[in-house]
Amino acid sequence: MSESKVFVCLIQVITTGSASIQQAYYRVKSLQIISSSKSTVKKWSLRRLLDNYLKLVSLFAVGVALSIALAACGSSSAKVADVKLRLVSFSVTQAAHDQIIPNFVEKWKKEHNQNVTFETSYGGSGAQTAAVIDGSIEADIVHLALPLDVNKIQQAGLIKKSWETRAPRNGIVTRSVAAIVTREGNPKGINSWEDLAKDGVKLIAANPKTSGIAIWEFLGLWGSVTQAGGDEVKALDFVTRVYRNTSGLTKDAREASDLFFQKGEGDVLVSYENEVTSAFQNNQKLPFKIPQLNISIDNPVVIVDKNVEKHRTKEVAQAFVDYLYSEEAQREFSKLGYRSVNPLISQEVAPQFPRVETLFTAQDLGGWDTIQKKFFEQGAIFDKIQAKNKA
């Protein structure tokens, strides 16, 4: 048999799958026997070629074995490398996340045979946003106090445009309203937004430059005038008098709550309804009012696109965001005083929440771009109010 025929025979065996690796081996061995009748030169040449072919067959066998091994690694029963998610959120969500995260971890492990660990960071929403933007915290997921903070991260190039369209409810995953908390017996007679401007009232409040609740509080105060038919001149005068009743501004909602509940400072605190509920659950029971003209406090969640691509965590990060909208997670949020964005759960838990007569939103105040420029940029209305009160 000629060398070319040997080669063709071998290639047919290997590439067409017409024989097993073992068959290929024995066929080549038979060709070696045939070659023994040839001349010395021819026999040596053919034998060398056949030896090389045997090596090729062996290599092919190794390749097949590796392919099978790789396929096995890709099977559902194989161990998958652990993954870590970095979650950055505003201070008062920690209690809820502490309940929800273990449930998600268990669910993911069961469905994907993969361990997920979370690295969490909680603080004032404005400060958390700044940390994500400057890279000191490489968040995979942000759950922040207001869409304005997500917009800032998007403008920094870390989140893709139109983030609102990539999750249910325009990216809003938790919702609350403003609550006015007073001392036992309400000695200062504080029952409404208007009463916060009374002489002799000391208000504990956070700084809108670092805290999400502080922005919502400011908008609640402003809207309590404009959404009731008052003009902006009247709104500016009212809000200025309210902030005159603060002795200092805390960095976030948690610090403000600690001053009021634990250290007994101040006559009144404006906080998230869910934060007041949390205080009640910790036996810090003080009277509170839910204003009938109130602001819808909408908290967004979104994956940080640039970081999940860097960390290769997009799939599990998106799965966690989706899980936060599930009935199971929304029920956990509701237990801690959040008003659910899931219609089914919202209806289910409605009896546990005080009714609000009129609920306005950030859009009623011009939308977040307008709000940022008008109220909170350097030298805008909030800075002017602070400067006037310090004069």
Q: What tens digit of pLDDT does each residue of 146-163 get?
A: 999 999 999 999 999 999
Identify the domain containing residue 61 by its residue range: 3-73
Reduced DSSP (H G I as helix, E B as strand, rest coil) percent helix, strand, coil of the chain, to 5: 55, 15, 30
Residue 104 and residue 195 in one domain: no
Q: Label the pairing between strands 358-360 and 293-295.
A: parallel
| Amino acid 38: pLDDT | 45
Q: What is the pLDDT of residues 85-142, one digit of tens each?
A: 999 999 889 999 999 999 999 999 999 999 999 999 999 899 999 999 999 999 999 9
Residue 50 and residue 91 in one domain: no
- Residue owning tokens 């810090």: 284
Mean pLDDT of 36-61: 46
Residue 202 and residue 99 in one domain: no
Residue 254 and residue 308 in one domain: no
Domain boundary among 53, 73, 93: 73
Q: Is pLDDT above 70 for 329?
A: yes
CATH code, domain with 152: 3.40.190.10
Number of structural domains found in the chain = 3
- Residue owning tokens 């966690």: 320
The pLDDT confidence band at residue 311, using thresholds 50, 70 and 90, is very high
| Cα(310)–Cα(331) distance, integer angstroms | 33
Residue 98 and residue 67 in one domain: no
CA quadruple 313, 314, 316, 322: dihedral positive or negative? Answer: positive
In a domain, 30, yes or no: yes
Residue 129 and residue 16 in one domain: no
Q: Is pLDDT above 70 for 73?
A: no
In a domain, 132, yes or no: yes
Of 42-56, 245-259, 266-280, the range with the lowest mean pLDDT is 42-56
Q: Is pLDDT above 80 for 318?
A: yes
| Cα(77)–Cα(92) distance, integer angstroms | 39
In a domain, 213, yes or no: yes
| Cα(84)–Cα(236) distance, integer angstroms | 47
Three-state secondary structure call for residue 209: coil
Residue 233 and residue 273 in one domain: yes
Residue 260 and residue 278 in one domain: yes
Residue 186 and residue 168 in one domain: no
In a domain, 343, yes or no: no
In a domain, 335, yes or no: no
Nearest in space to 159 (alpha carbons), one of 121, 124, 191, 132: 132
In a domain, 140, yes or no: yes
Residue 164 and residue 307 in one domain: yes
Residue 222 and residue 283 in one domain: yes
| Amino acid 48: pLDDT | 54
Residue 325 and residue 291 in one domain: no
